[in-house]
Chain A
Amino acid sequence: MSTESNYYVPEESRLPVLGALALGLMALGAGLLLNDGASGILWVGTALLVAVMYIWFRTVIRENIAGMNSDQLKRSYVWGMSWFIFSEVMFFAVFFGTLFYVRTLALPWLGGEGDRSDMIHLVWPEFTAQWPLMETPSQAAGSNEFIGPDHHMSFPGWDKMFHWLPLWNTIILLTSSVTCHFAHHAMKHDDRKKFNIWLGVTVALGIIFLFLQYEEYHEAYTEMGLTLESGIYGSTFFMLTGFHGFHVTMGTFMLLIQWIRGLKGHFSSDDQFGFEASSWYWHFVDVVWAGLFLFVYVLA
């Protein structure tokens, strides 16, 4: 509820309409890239969006430093970030939902379970449902439309556990959440030196995670025959881990910016929302990974 007598309503701004133009150009450009192979407009749009976001965040930071943000406005930013993260939760929910649906319903039905088993057997008589799906229905029917992977990413057994990248990635990402929390704690107590160290460690862990994720993808494509095209296992695997990896990239970048801002002395023990919002995002990305580790890697 409103308690302030004045709420800061900003002057007219050129940024929003330029941001919308950038998104419009990106949508047009991405379509043109896929349909005609022309990437020019996509690059122009992306560059414009980056420029708009840079200036926009700079403006907001300067307004805050100038003391124009009341406590009430800061609460608006808190609500904004929280609901944005909620929308991200729903975005990942779609891909998790897809995974669960395929594993518990679609594949068993294709394999002949359920009310319509008599009909399914006419279409793919040789197909057996399994997870990870190594042989696709089209393969079972003798077509090479979709070829299943040669190897999968699941838990390799206790003896090979320590050569299994996802385990290391899990340890790295969970640790980074803890170090991020230490950084927050340090800033709450105005300990800038510790803040810089712990946040620096968090960013470094994020980068290591991304590097290992790249290694995993490289191995999948070059040695395991696991690609986007290897049936539903490859589709769900790359969709879930790919979007997660993209979010880790964003989160690492956000935290890196906050680290630089920390060095510039932007934060104080009671005003550090830029960092807090980024850290919420980071914890969210971490929780998603916990779900991924469980449902994509372990329980398979």
Chain B
Amino acid sequence: MAHGPAKGIGRWLFATNHKDIGTMYLWFSFAMFLLGGAFAMIIRAELFAPGMQLIKPEFFNQMTTMHGLIMVFGAIMPSFVGLANWMVPLQIGAPDMALPRMNNLSFWILPFGFALLASTLFMEGGAPNFGWTFYAPLSTTYAPDTVNFFIFGVHIIGASSIMGSINIIATILNLRAPGMTMMKLPLFVWTWLITAFLLVAVMPVLAGAVTMMLMDINFGTSFFDAAGGGDPVLFQHIFWFFGHPEVYIIILPAFGVISEIIPTFSRKPLFGYSSMVYATSAIAFLSFIVWAHHMFTTGMPIAGELYFMYATMLIAVPTGVKVFNWITTMFRGSLTFETPMLFAIAVVILFTFGGFTGLMLAVAPADIQYHDSYFVVGHFHYVMVAGAVFSMSGAVYYWLPKWTGKMYDETMGKMQFWIAFVGFNIAFIPQHFLGLAGMPRRYADYALQFSDWNMVSSIGAFMYGAAQLMFLYNVISTIVSGKPSTEEKTWEGAQGLEWTLPSPAPFHTFSTPPNVK
């Protein structure tokens, strides 16, 4: 157990250390973030002006599909798994993850899975072009041949997610330090416990969905074909039974992160800790019973539409509890606005905005107007980007001194935040206007009246893209030449076990569990 890191590439290939594996997850997800981001830049460049300028419509469809798949499965999800790998053992006083070898297996599946997925771009017929939601029959009857690689890729990526989640659950339930009772867990740990449960519950559902696609395409079954007695709408039900909890899988760890950051920079304990735990659990429960609000225009009995509309609105209650608690934590605190705090506050504001547009979309009769329009694109980017990605950026700035023992440049951090914040809003606010004016999503070209806002949106997107390169620069320059920051407690107001450790955190921590009072 006293062994240190191995020399050379073997340290990474054969790793069992939660910090090394966490680091690999984080770098891998950032690489995927840049790849998916490059696809987004291609999309926005094409949409900069009406008409087809840069790429062909078929390739545009491949770009929207690959952008969505890579951002959801390759960037956001693995980034939070990486964060869990690093922080969960530190925050609960565990020596490592519960199952360290399986941990490395979960990680290394991802490069193979995404190499397979990305390689379809260079295959005959091109990459998947049916959107990240891969509705049948677009993804079955009318799919390119490469769909089989996509299906098997999803299978192994799903296996990675399930193993990673089982590991996180086992770690949290079994490796807490003496005295670290469940209701003392840092909120990041709590949100990940619930996220991991959601993942174990719904990744097999996704596996089942793609397996039925595989059978329909290659073996003559008729699950999603009405001619044989099946139903294409069934695909949407199954997909969204996975897909809606998936949305919370992406956002709950982000909630956990900002529940760590806000108390630190407010120099006050989190307001309403237990209500946060219950609200997170309530969101997880509700996520299983609201899926068909993605399908209001697909065809459903009126009773179904009403049920899914009201059930969806219920989610606003626990989410409102969370937003209230974050704001109340800040209320009358001694606030300072370091970069992580700026990101956290931005998450509270922008995520709330995305939540409100979500409420608009939850109203079935109204949704029939917005459905599959740019309003939806604007809405979910406020949740995915301003919710998940912003909090991830905040998390990196927040814990980077603990990981590296070096301090990032505050001015550069703040500059990156403001460029990202402004760029993001310029990119996505206009998309709401475009959608309400009637511009459909996933189109390579558009009518002339949409030109101005599309141009504005593209400019904002390029700005946001540039901010990510700056983020990369900030992280690398901190690692290479950052000011040493070796005190245990980087932030004056920080609470929690990770801040009792030296910075950078030693290769092995808590070999003997700490005592938690």
Known contacts A84-B166, A102-B234; is-contact A21 B105 (Cβ 8 Å) = no
Scoring A residues 6 to 19 as 1 if CB is less than 8 Å from chain B, else 0, what string do you get? Answer: 11111111111101
A12 x B6 contact (CB < 8 A):
yes
CB neighbours (8 Å) of B511 from chain A are 6
A137 to B232, CA, bound (A): 14
Scoring B residues 108 to 122 as 1 if CB is less than 8 Å from chain A, else 0, what string do you get? Answer: 110111011000000
CB neighbours (8 Å) of A238 from chain B are 221
CB neighbours (8 Å) of A3 from chain B are 178
B208 x A95 contact (CB < 8 A):
yes
- From the candidates A13, A31, A227, A234, name the one contacting B16 in the complex (CB within 8 A): A13
B513 x A235 contact (CB < 8 A):
no
Does any Cβ of B come within 8 Å of A58's Cβ?
no
Does any Cβ of B come within 8 Å of A300's Cβ?
no
For B208, give the chain A residue with the smallest CB separation. Answer: A94
Q: How near does chain A come to B74, taking the closest CB pair, in angstroms?
A: 15
B228 x A2 contact (CB < 8 A):
no
A80 x B99 contact (CB < 8 A):
yes
Does any Cβ of A come within 8 Å of B448's Cβ?
no
B116 x A28 contact (CB < 8 A):
yes
A252 to B338, CA, bound (A): 58
B226 x A27 contact (CB < 8 A):
no
Q: How near does chain B come to A209, taking the closest CB pair, in angstroms?
A: 23
A19 to B104, CA, bound (A): 10
CB neighbours (8 Å) of B226 from chain A are 106, 110, 123-124, 137
A106 x B152 contact (CB < 8 A):
no
A146 x B166 contact (CB < 8 A):
no
A79 to B406, CA, bound (A): 37
Q: How near does chain B come to A248, taking the closest CB pair, in angstroms?
A: 18
B223 x A232 contact (CB < 8 A):
yes
For A89, give the chain B residue with the smallest CB separation. Answer: B204
A263 to B363, CA, bound (A): 64
B301 x A114 contact (CB < 8 A):
yes
Number of interface residues of B (CB under 8 A): 91
CB neighbours (8 Å) of B228 from chain A are 136-138, 145-146, 231-232, 235
B98 x A31 contact (CB < 8 A):
no
Binding-face segment, B167-175, B254-262, B380-388: B167-175
A residues 96-145 in Cβ contact with B at 8 Å: 97-98, 101-102, 105-107, 109-110, 114-116, 123-124, 133, 136-138, 141, 143, 145
The listed residue with most A CB atoms (<10 A of its CB), out of B6, B13, B181, is B13
- Count of CB-CB pairs between chains A and B under 8 Å: 253
- From the candidates A23, A56, A98, A123, name the one contacting B234 in the complex (CB within 8 A): A98
Known contacts A11-B3, A83-B169; is-contact A23 B156 (Cβ 8 Å) = yes
Does any Cβ of A come within 8 Å of B473's Cβ?
no
CB neighbours (8 Å) of A80 from chain B are 98-99, 102, 166-167, 170
Does any Cβ of A come within 8 Å of B366's Cβ?
no
B149 x A17 contact (CB < 8 A):
no
> How extensive is the interface on chain A, given as a class?
35 or more
Does any Cβ of A come within 8 Å of B94's Cβ?
yes
Scoring A residues 27 to 55 as 1 if CB is less than 8 Å from chain B, else 0, what string do you get? Answer: 11011001100000000000000000000
The listed residue with most B CB atoms (<10 A of its CB), out of A14, A98, A116, A124, is A98
A88 to B229, CA, bound (A): 27
Q: How near does chain B come to A54, taking the closest CB pair, in angstroms?
A: 15
B208 x A17 contact (CB < 8 A):
no
A138 to B222, CA, bound (A): 11
For A129, give the chain B residue with the smallest CB separation. Answer: B229
Binding-face segment, B39-47, B195-203, B275-283, B349-357: B195-203
Does any Cβ of B come within 8 Å of A91's Cβ?
yes
Q: How near does chain B come to A261, taking the closest CB pair, in angstroms?
A: 20
B229 x A83 contact (CB < 8 A):
no
Does any Cβ of A come within 8 Å of B176's Cβ?
yes
A20 to B113, CA, bound (A): 9
Scoring B residues 218 to 245 as 1 if CB is less than 8 Å from chain A, else 0, what string do you get? Answer: 1111110111111101100110010000
Q: How near does chain B come to A174, taking the closest CB pair, in angstroms?
A: 25
Known contacts A9-B100, A10-B100, A115-B302; is-contact A232 B212 (Cβ 8 Å) = no
A8 x B1 contact (CB < 8 A):
yes
A12 x B94 contact (CB < 8 A):
no
CB neighbours (8 Å) of B219 from chain A are 228-229
A24 x B115 contact (CB < 8 A):
yes
Q: How near does chain B come to A286, taking the closest CB pair, in angstroms?
A: 19
Known contacts A90-B205, A235-B221; is-contact A116 B299 (Cβ 8 Å) = yes
CB neighbours (8 Å) of A214 from chain B are none
Q: How near does chain B come to A216, taking the closest CB pair, in angstroms?
A: 18
Does any Cβ of B come within 8 Å of A76's Cβ?
yes
A105 to B241, CA, bound (A): 17
Does any Cβ of B come within 8 Å of A210's Cβ?
no
Does any Cβ of A come within 8 Å of B512's Cβ?
yes
Does any Cβ of A come within 8 Å of B215's Cβ?
yes
The listed residue with most A CB atoms (<10 A of its CB), out of B10, B98, B299, is B98
- Beyond contacts A12-B14, A14-B14, A146-B227: 4 other A-B pairs, Cβ-Cβ < 8 A, are A17-B108, A35-B145, A80-B170, A84-B162
* B residues apposed to A, CB below 8 Å: 1, 3, 6, 10-11, 13-17, 93-96, 98-105, 107-109, 111-113, 115-116, 145-146, 148-149, 151-153, 155-156, 159, 162, 165-167, 169-171, 173-178, 180-181, 200-205, 207-209, 212, 215, 218-223, 225-231, 233-234, 237-238, 241, 299, 301-302, 508, 511-513
The 4 tightest CB contacts between A and B, nearest first, are A24-B112, A94-B208, A20-B108, A232-B229
